[in-house]
Structure 1
Amino acid sequence: MRADRLVAALLLLQGRGRLTASELAGELEISVATARRDLEALSAAGIPVYPQPGRGGGWSLVGGARTDLTGLTAAEARALFLLLGPATTAAPALTSALRKLVRALPATFRADAEAAARAVVSDPAGWGEAGREPPALVRTLQDAVVAGHKVRLTYARKGSEPAERLVDPLGLVDKDGLWYLVAGTGAGRRTYRVDRVTAAEPTDLPAERPDGFDLAAEWERVVGEVERRRSLVTAVVLVAERHAGILRDHFGRHCEVLGREPDGRARLRVAAPMALSIAEQLAGWGAQVEVVEPEAVRAELARIGAELVARYAP
């Protein structure tokens, strides 16, 4: 898990004083690119980690090596826990480490650190859209979640004019590079795509947070509802084994590997809201993909093919 790596990277930096991305990659058994991204994430979040270029350079903690994490400032502790996410979704060893770290922090830091740990959930499974840089307002919304203050949002729903609403920010979710805000409103709990938030103004009004609210559990509920709406039609398809990974990446959660055919092709189940939606996504594959069932998807593919022949055949 990424959270395990971030804690391990900090401990290694503090124990050795300086590390290169290559050395960190070797210690954690990850790629150099991943190690560099983790170090950059720590630095961007406000943890005092900085790179020194040139021969003999590497990454170091400002002030040199330290023996434990309890020397973190309030802002640094908060930034670290925002990066790590909720201990409830972490591996057992990390959960134990986070509890010890919270207990070791000065009492005045603990509430913010614990709030920060509950503020963000990471969901690596995409919804068919490529990841991107976090929207500029993510940090503003994170701070509002941790501080427990209402936020006045200007939100542009797809196909609608921007509208202003006052919300109780409950947590943020990083879904493979797409960020969502889970918030309470007068009409109930809602989820907002952060890249559609055009303005976010924190207020001094205390936010209402339901007792026992669990961001990870709430996100599972949201995902389940979205998946239910997006998976109303399923189709079984056959494709060359070398292309199965491409289809899995394309359909995301809506693709399940069922097995392998005697001729070596992979058997997959894909899903979408309508038969037409599946046919449109598969039409570009031509004869490389065979739809076994249902007949509705096969009929839509035949219709699309006939339209293309009518338009483009000599």
Structure 2
Amino acid sequence: MRADRLVAALLLLQARGRTTAAELAEQLEVSVATARRDLEALSAAGIPVYPQPGRGGGWSLLGGARTDLSGLTATEAQALFLLAGPAAATAPQVKSALRKLVRALPGTFRAEAAADAVVVDPARWGEPDRARPEMVDALQAAVVRRRKVRLTYADRAGQQTERMVDPLGLVDKDDVWYLLAGTAHGQRTFRVDRIRDAVVTDLAAQRPPDFRLPAAWQLVVEEMERRRSLLSATVLVDARFVPVLQSQFGRHCEVLDSVREGRRRVRLAAPTARTIAEQVAGWGARIEVLEPAAVRAELARIGTELTARYG
């Protein structure tokens, strides 16, 4: 039998005290025969599970034992979901196992189960690779425990402010981590590498009942994409360099078509003409900017400055 079904079956027995093969089959989305074999396998493995025939019968734990999560503490139960949560975003079998586990959890644990505490978004924004911030684990635990966090946060200019937030979820966007949180001014997104300090309090955090982390993150991405692609430029580059450009600009690099001699027309997007010029200036003559004139003018300005200093 599959390990996820074995654990789910055991947890369901512990939560209910007794279940029938038909009820287990419905919960685990398998046939009644498969559910019955799973129960028999549990018994054969030494788990004190036994069948009780007759009306009102079913499968029970020895002595009607009813415990929470095989004796796991709340912290240990949370750890299971913390460990599996990131994997569940990319592994359907893990997501399926967690869904079955949640169904079997007693009610007091369901609210704390955080299989969706983390979203993994592999699409790049042109950011360099970064190490996982040490603060992620503490913030993730705060999401699961529903506890307010006192943040010391630095903006782009390095100016620090302190604020109390309700942590809603974490997003790993290709090694750049973000915290989605409720604040006094509505939902906000914080880059974890700009959080200078985070103190998890004992105050209960508020979480909107209809909050769904993937949907909330999609709204953040759409707004960020709008801001990051206010201006676009069309450039010519050798086909062999296109993957490097795609790594540099992420989803803001679009291959349009091929031209002669193995060159490609590529569209690059950024907030301003200066931003694009600064990012492609290091390519020298390997990139030819076709349009707009504003980007070409910025490149000329950069070239003039460099010539004046180093020429």
TM-score of the two chains, using structure 1 as the length reference: 0.70
Deviation of 1:100 after TM superposition, in Å, equals 2.1
Match of 2:78 in 1: 78
Q: Please give the alpha-carbon distance, in whole angstroms, between the structure 2 residues aligned to 1:302 and 1:120.
A: 44
Match of 1:102 in 2: 102
Q: Please give the alpha-carbon distance, in whole angstroms, between the structure 1 residues aligned to 2:124 and 2:277.
A: 21
Q: Is the deviation greater in 260-269 or in 169-178?
A: 260-269
> Secondary structure in 2 aligned to 1:139?
helix
Conserved 8 A contact 1:171-1:215: yes
Q: From the CA coordinates, give the structure whose radius of gyration is larger.
A: 2
Q: Is the deviation greater in 103-112 or in 168-177?
A: 103-112
Conserved 8 A contact 1:85-1:122: no
Name the CA shift for 1:107/1:219 in 2 (closer, same or farther; >3 Å): same
Conserved 8 A contact 1:154-1:200: yes
Deviation of 1:101 after TM superposition, in Å, equals 3.1
Match of 1:222 in 2: 220
Q: Please give the alpha-carbon distance, in whole angstroms, between the structure 2 residues aligned to 1:308 and 1:87.
A: 47
Name the CA shift for 1:104/1:225 in 2 (closer, same or farther; >3 Å): same
Match of 1:5 in 2: none
Deviation of 1:286 after TM superposition, in Å, equals 1.4
Name the CA shift for 1:213/1:107 in 2 (closer, same or farther; >3 Å): closer
Give 2:300's match in structure 1, choosing from 299, 302, 314.
302
Q: Please give the alpha-carbon distance, in whole angstroms, between the structure 2 residues aligned to 1:225 and 1:66.
A: 55
Q: Please give the alpha-carbon distance, in whole angstroms, between the structure 1 residues aligned to 2:105 and 2:205.
A: 25
Give 1:273's match in structure 2, choosing from 251, 271, 281.
271
Q: Is the deviation greater in 155-164 or in 139-148?
A: 155-164
> Secondary structure in 2 aligned to 1:217?
helix
Match of 1:263 in 2: 261
Deviations 1:121-147 (A, max 9, x none): 111123222232222221111111111
Name the CA shift for 1:66/1:312 in 2 (closer, same or farther; >3 Å): farther
In structure 2, runs of 5+ residues without a counterpart are 8-44, 48-68
Amino acid in structure 1 at the alignment position of 2:239: E
Length, aligned pairs only: 249
Q: Please give the alpha-carbon distance, in whole angstroms, between the structure 2 residues aligned to 1:106 and 1:189.
A: 30
Match of 1:187 in 2: 185
Give 1:254's match in structure 2, choosing from 252, 255, 261.
252
Name the CA shift for 1:303/1:160 in 2 (closer, same or farther; >3 Å): closer
Give 1:156's match in structure 2, choosing from 154, 168, 175.
154
Q: Please give the alpha-carbon distance, in whole angstroms, between the structure 2 residues aligned to 1:195 and 1:208.
A: 24
Amino acid in structure 2 at the alignment position of 1:233: L
After TM superposition, the structure 1 = structure 2 runs for residues 162-181 of structure 1, keeping only pairs within 5 Å, are 162-181=160-179
Q: Please give the alpha-carbon distance, in whole angstroms, between the structure 1 residues aligned to 2:215 and 2:120.
A: 12
Name the CA shift for 1:180/1:212 in 2 (closer, same or farther; >3 Å): same
Aligned-residue sequence identity (percent) comes to 60
Q: Please give the alpha-carbon distance, in whole angstroms, between the structure 1 residues aligned to 2:259 and 2:135.
A: 48
> Secondary structure in 2 aligned to 1:282?
helix
Deviations 1:16-57 (A, max 9, x none): xxxxxxxxxxxxxxxxxxxxxxxxxxxxxxxxxxxxxxxxxx
After TM superposition, the structure 1 = structure 2 runs for residues 282-301 of structure 1, keeping only pairs within 5 Å, are 282-301=280-299
Conserved 8 A contact 1:87-1:98: no
Match of 2:123 in 1: 125
Name the CA shift for 1:312/1:198 in 2 (closer, same or farther; >3 Å): closer
Deviations 1:202-227 (A, max 9, x none): 22221111121011111111111112
Name the CA shift for 1:255/1:118 in 2 (closer, same or farther; >3 Å): same
Amino acid in structure 1 at the alignment position of 2:166: D
Conserved 8 A contact 1:123-1:173: yes
Name the CA shift for 1:311/1:223 in 2 (closer, same or farther; >3 Å): same
After TM superposition, the structure 1 = structure 2 runs for residues 9-88 of structure 1, keeping only pairs within 5 Å, are 73=72, 75=75, 77-85=77-85
Deviation of 1:71 after TM superposition, in Å, equals 6.7
Match of 1:43 in 2: none
In structure 1, runs of 5+ residues without a counterpart are 1-7, 15-64
Match of 2:14 in 1: none
Structure 2 residue 176 is matched with structure 1 residue 211 = no
**4+ residue stretches of structure 1 with deviation over 6 A?**
none
What is the CA RMSD across the aligned residues, in angstroms?
A: 3.0
Match of 2:243 in 1: 245
